[in-house]
Amino acid sequence: MSLNQDEKDYISKIFNHGVAHLSDDAIPNRIICVHNIHWCIENLLRKASQEWTNIDYRAGFEDILNIFDSRHNIPIDLKNEMRRLNTIRNDMEHRSLFHDIRDILNLIPKAREFISWIAKIKFNTIIDLYSVSAADESNIITDFNNWKRMKIEQFDINNFENLIFILIIPTTYSPNIIEMHIDGINEMVGSTLESGVRISGRNPEHESAIEKYFRSFRHIFSHPSQVFSIPTYMRYYNEIGDELRVFPDGRIYIAFKFGMTVRDELGFNIENLYSGREVFNINSQYITYYNLPFNEYRPNMLEYILKLVLYSFHPDNIHSGVKALTKFHRIFITLPFMRRNGEPCKLDRHLDDDHWFESPRIYCGEEEELTFKRSINFDEIQGVLEEFKNWTYSFFRNPHDTGFM
């Protein structure tokens, strides 16, 4: 017996959809969360027991759980928690008893653990509850690629600009993961006319929490930087082409120029992404306000950008405007233009002559761009970037070292 990828995607998507609803402690959201988690558990149990002749569609949740337990010995703590899940679901469905959100939050880790346990025991597989569905991810990547092509068209390729594109997808992807516009503070302004009539209107300087967070660090994209709030996304950009877009569903797009090469060389100055030569000063008031886990320091550029972005989803950052906090993200880092005008590009490393890889390394592949994909959490940023750097260098080889000619 096995679970196909579509079945695993459905479970992951429905589970995360339910969990995302707890970003707002309202009774309808609690109901949706419990129903989604209960659906995932019950359907897994039914799938796992479908070959047993004494179980049919009329069997209830408790019946299936008990029979499955008699054959596979469910760990006692997981079995008790699944019974409690069923009780809470029935209370909400049949008795209009709406349990406290803390009861539901305490269920979620055990539900995740049970899903992982039954997937391993019965199906010998892994269900990744920390990823969006394949369909959602595919649609996001398509939209990202369209935006990426639009950005590339803004530049004259003959100028040999070095561009890096980053796509980040939080695992609790949902239509309302980020509050983009309203934080309830100074949203409206008012005044009194000479006639005594009181008028009010939307404050043009009002910012949502997420706008305040990113505006505090707009020097990522150098000055001047502008912010536009529109219904579909928030955009930071500057006139040289750097851009960050934040979407209400949690997607983040980044386009970044990371260095210039000599006009007559087809090179990539990868090294300046990892240099610590520039100090990024973070104002102390932002350290205090956002409870940032880093101070004035000398990081590499990629580390700096990713720490600021991923910290917006961090549970300790209660001021960011992200309503459904998440631990894991899917990250896509893309280096385009690995070949220009049919010629292979070489790695520009003139600032780091002592690096471990040989000189010169020539990229001899036919790909137009290279994309690095990983699941990542905030604590893994440094290790993932080191892996990305080594992964990037692996594409710059002597022609005889590769399968590409």
Which amino acid makes up residue 237? Y
Phi, psi at 269, each rounded to 5°: -85, 70
- What is the tens place of the pLDDT at every residue in 225-272? 555 555 568 888 877 778 889 988 889 999 987 765 555 566 666 666
- What is the tens place of the pLDDT at every residue in 39-53? 999 989 888 887 775
Provide the CATH topology of domain 5-123. Four Helix Bundle (Hemerythrin (Met), subunit A) (1.20.120)
Half-sphere exposure of 81 (CA within 13 A, CB side): 21
291-310: burial string, b at 16+ Cβ within 10 Å, e else: ebeeeeeebbbbbbbbbbbb
Please give the pLDDT value at position 41: 92
Block residue for tokens 């009774």 = 27
Please give the pLDDT value at position 168: 94
Name the least confident of 133-137, 143-147, 201-205, 322-326. 201-205
pLDDT class of 348 with cuts at 50, 70, 90: low
Query: What residue segments make up the domains of the chain, in order of their start?
Result: 5-123, 134-401
Please give the pLDDT value at position 397: 61
Across 30-36, average pLDDT: 91
Other C-beta atoms closer than 10 Å to the C-beta of 116 total 14
Residue 254, H or E segment: strand 252-260
Do strands 267-268 and 346-347 pair parallel, antiparallel, or not at all (unpaired)? parallel
Across 356-362, average pLDDT: 54
Task: Cite the DSSP H helix spans in 124-262.
Answer: 134-153, 209-215
Q: Are 351 and 275 in contact (CB under 8 A)?
A: yes
pTM for the full predicted model: 0.64
Please give the pLDDT value at position 403: 41
Please give the pLDDT value at position 239: 75
**Res. 85: pLDDT tops 70:** yes
Q: Are 115 and 125 in contact (CB under 8 A)?
A: no
